[in-house]
Amino acid sequence: MVQSIAAGAAVPRGMLIADAWAQLGDGVAPLSNPSGRPLARTVKLLLDPLVLRPNLNPRFAGGMVGVEHVDELRSTLLEAGPVLAATAAWFQLLKKARRRAGVTEGNPQDLYFQRCYELAHEHGDPRGVPDAEAVAAATVADVRAERGEVTVDRLRRFMTDPDQVVRLAGLLQHAWADRPAPQPAPQDDLTAFLDTCAAKPDERAWKALAANGTGTAEAADLDRPRVARDYGLTAREHPAPPALGERASKRQLPPPFDRSIMERLFAAFTAVFQRESMADIPSMVVGEIHRSAAAWQLAEEPSRVAMALGRDASNGIDYWAGGGTPRSDANGRLQARYAREAYVHAVHRQPDPESANVPEDLKHEILHVQEPYLRRLWARLHGRELRGETTAADEVWDLLDGVFRSVLLDQRDRLRRLLERDGGRS
Amino acid sequence: MTEYRVGRVRAVIIVGTWRTDPPGVVRPHPERTALLEARGALLYWDVLDRTAHPAAEIHDPDLAADWLWELYGPDAAGAILNGDSHIATEWASPVLDAARRLAHLRWAEAWWPSSHAAAVPALDTGLLRAEAAWRTAAVEHLLDDDEAVERALADANLAATEDLDPALGAAELTAALQALSEDYGIELRREPAGLRREDWALAATGGPAVDFALASGGAPVAWERVPQGLVDAAAGATWTLTQREGGLVVHVSVPAAPEARDLRLDAAIGTVDVPLRLDPASGNFTGEAEAPQAFLMLPAAQRVLWVHSPDFVGEPAEPAAAPHRAAIIEYARERLTDPDASLAERAA
């Protein structure tokens, strides 16, 4: 039978979700924003991965949902109502426990949403659980223990143990002595993927890039003089073996390739740490040593492909000129974002990046945006590797674009702060 | 009823005011633009034309489809996405209202024309940002920045909301911010508000008396070349040339905005650069510099006074080419008594 679908025979997914969400009532209010819509993280951490699962149910994906799937989407959400209400109730309890324990680090939604969903499945609604407060307190303590101080302390102790230092230094030396020289390869496939990754990501092409070792091949140039430095990945002429390191601080991390092993792991610990998916400390340290000697200083081929894609997507992006003819669809989209950024700067009445009052490092980052971009992309990919997260074809563009957005927003904050009351001068 | 033309420029769907040659959207002047960066689209309202619905540049229709209906209504949103060439809508919703208020708050932070001359008081930045954080949370599901609420909360200052007149809803705003702070794990700052309420009558008494003015003149200050809240938005800069013992001296005076910060400004006239500092006694940014004897021979066209902040080095715009400035000042004055305006505007 031929189905004829009339124009408009699709409904915005956001509207369907908003409508079904409203029917769930006050029970899910803690997961809603002041407009009564599910919080952005409710969608990202709960509805998408755990309830609607568009990866398994492509009919629930994208901006529009076909009318024939509308009822199913609504009933899927409504059926999840009780568990979502229980999740919301646990979230309230966990926030209270967190306040009582004096925890202030991290975003509670990021830290607790999925835990609360697990608790809701395990125990149901906390109002029927006699020791619910104790469970909540234990969960908060658990989440706190697996990130932050405790883990960083263990890492520091392990890496400064004299016996370990000798062994680890030997490992590091060998890993770098044994580095294979990657062979360059033509990069047409990268451009082809960049042309489609935003609109129609092709899973097969994405897998093929990794299977063919394209990311590793694209790292061949990094050892040539100044190449890695021009990408912002090192301050040195050539990448050199990292130090093991004894201390680390969140501020003033050097470029990725210049970070010590300790600094690399520290940065990941203080971002999002997930115990279940991360290895124990000794194997993480050894893994990091080997990673540092690998192509792009990343362990997995898809991450290396992503670095090569990010490099090509951010080539030639220019704050003033809009960059000229795009080299790929993705490159054009990032350029368009930068062109919008210049307009947003004018509307927000922000200082001119070329002004003498703008510190040199910030000016450099704005005019050579590829450098902070590749640094941040590397850090994201590194964190994903440590957490064992894989990247599907349809997540690549979100990653490439999201990293660019985050770089621009930080630049914007720094420009704006120049005009604050003290402004660091006057 | 809002009516807009809809069309495409390359891959971007444009909803708004069009020009035909070259085809494209007419963006309002930055000084009158209330902007919101949504997922997949830029939205903007022209603060002077008071249309309820924003113009839009939609660069990713797939992302925008998720929320477009909340701002234009399902019918108009469908028409936009289906390639219709025209929409009309009377849609109203709390989300549209919050989006517009947030964009307006950001506009006020950048362009509020505080002025003694025009009797437009300064706004409390802390209060603007506190309300912005609250409005941001109401539209976080359609914003491009997935950390917008965290960013806005980090800017908010609880002291500003606590100082607010209870009749304006201080308690409600404070409670909302505290709940958000807990939901997003951002500790709110509580710094005593730096605002000093000046005595309107005493401020802006004009420049110092000058004995022998050989020449003088004045010019408006281009808004886009100075930060918000430094220079009186309605008054002009003046210069005088006097003979002193050592030679010619150019004195420049620029009326400061109410509660101006003491940041440096630069003035230039002819070939002479004059750094300016805030003189709290007179309420002016003032400065003077030696001028060459040749200054007296300059034709009037070259004795044009330019004032700018060292932070803004773009091409000087011709202040006279911004006829909307008077309208913006008028608009700001109306907002002060508008019960629908933001808390900072009503509290000022």
ipTM of the complex as predicted: 0.90
Domain boundary among B133, B164, B192: B192
**Cβ-nearest to B65 among A63, A347, A409:** A63
Q: Is the dihedral of CA A340, A343, A347, A350 positive or negative?
A: positive
Q: Is residue B116 part of a domain?
A: no
Q: What is the pLDDT of residues B270-288, one digit of tens each?
A: 889 999 999 999 999 999 9
Domain shared by B247 and B330, yes or no: yes
Domain shared by B175 and B227, yes or no: no
**Cβ-nearest to A352 among B110, B228, B314:** B314
User: Does the distance separating the beta carbons of A349 and B30 come in below 8 Å?
Assistant: yes
Q: Is residue B174 part of a domain?
A: yes
Among A196, A340, A190, CA closest to B36:
A340
Q: Is B110 on the interface with A (CB under 8 A)?
A: yes
Domain shared by B243 and B168, yes or no: no
pLDDT at A387: 84
Domain boundary among B92, B114, B144: B92
Domain shared by B210 and B164, yes or no: no
Distance CA B128, CA B114 (A): 14
H or E element at residue B24: strand B24-25
A18 contact residues in B (CB cutoff 8 A): 70
pLDDT at B168: 84
SS3 A369: coil
Q: Is residue B98 part of a domain?
A: no
Helices A360-367 and A393-417 sit at what angle, rounded to 10 degrees?
Answer: 150
Facing residues of B46 across strands?
A: B33
User: Does the distance separating the beta carbons of B33 and A347 come in below 8 Å?
Assistant: yes
Distance CA A372, CA A365 (A): 6
Distance CA B47, CA A347 (A): 12
Domain shared by B331 and B201, yes or no: yes
**Cβ-nearest to A426 among B42, B176, B264:** B264
H or E element at residue B243: strand B236-244
Q: What's the distance, CA A308 to chain centroid? A: 17
B312 contact residues in A (CB cutoff 8 A): 351-352, 355
User: Does the distance separating the beta carbons of A99 and B311 come in below 8 Å?
Assistant: no
- Report A:344-363 residues touching B (Cβ under 8 A): 344, 346-349, 351-352, 354-358
Domain shared by B221 and B140, yes or no: no
Distance CA A11, CA B74 (A): 9
pLDDT at B134: 95
Structural tokens at position A266: 């520290």
Domain count, chain B: 3
Structural tokens at position B20: 């035909």
Cβ-based neighbours of B331, under 8 Å, separated by 6 or more: B47, B48
Radius of gyration of chain B (CA): 23
Distance CA B189, CA B200 (A): 30
Domain boundary among B170, B192, B214: B192
Q: Is A63 on the interface with B (CB under 8 A)?
A: yes
Domain shared by B217 and B294, yes or no: yes
Structural tokens at position A351: 């200082």
What percentage of chain B exceeds 70 in pLDDT? Answer: 92
Domain that holds residue B85: 2-92
Please list the pLDDT of chain A residue by residue as tens digits (426 residues): 333 344 457 899 999 999 999 999 999 999 999 999 999 999 999 999 999 998 888 889 878 899 999 999 999 999 999 999 999 999 999 999 999 999 888 899 999 999 999 999 999 999 989 999 999 999 999 888 766 555 777 888 899 899 899 999 999 999 999 888 767 776 678 999 999 999 899 999 999 999 999 999 999 889 899 999 999 999 999 999 999 988 777 777 899 999 999 999 888 776 655 555 566 888 889 999 999 999 999 999 999 999 999 999 999 898 876 557 889 999 999 999 999 998 999 999 998 888 888 899 999 999 999 999 999 999 999 999 988 888 889 899 999 999 999 999 999 999 888 877 543 333
Q: Is residue B97 part of a domain?
A: no
- The reported pTM is 0.90
Q: Is residue B283 part of a domain?
A: yes
Q: What is the average pLDDT score of chain B? A: 88
Distance CA A348, CA A133 (A): 46
* Shortest distance, CA A353 to any CA of chain B (angstroms): 8
Domain shared by B150 and B223, yes or no: no
pLDDT at A148: 58
Domain shared by B245 and B313, yes or no: yes
Domain shared by B330 and B209, yes or no: yes
Mean pLDDT over B199-204 rounds to 44
Give the mutation candidate from A349, A407, A416 for the B interface (greatest B CB count, under 10 A).
Answer: A349
B141 contact residues in A (CB cutoff 8 A): 14, 33, 35, 37-40, 43
Q: Is residue B103 part of a domain?
A: no
Task: Give the strand pairing for B265-269 and B305-308.
Answer: antiparallel
B254-293 per-residue burial string, b: 16 or more CB within 10 A, e: under 16: bbbbbbbbebbbbbbbbebebebebbeebbbbbbbbebee
Q: Is residue B20 part of a domain?
A: yes
Facing residues of B288 across strands?
A: B251
Give yes or no for residue B23 having a pLDDT over 80.
Answer: no
Domain shared by B241 and B303, yes or no: yes
Domain shared by B207 and B318, yes or no: yes
Give the mutation candidate from A5, A35, A417, A422 for the B interface (greatest B CB count, under 10 A).
Answer: A35
Q: Is residue B33 part of a domain?
A: yes
Distance CA A357, CA A363 (A): 10
One-letter amino acid of A207: K
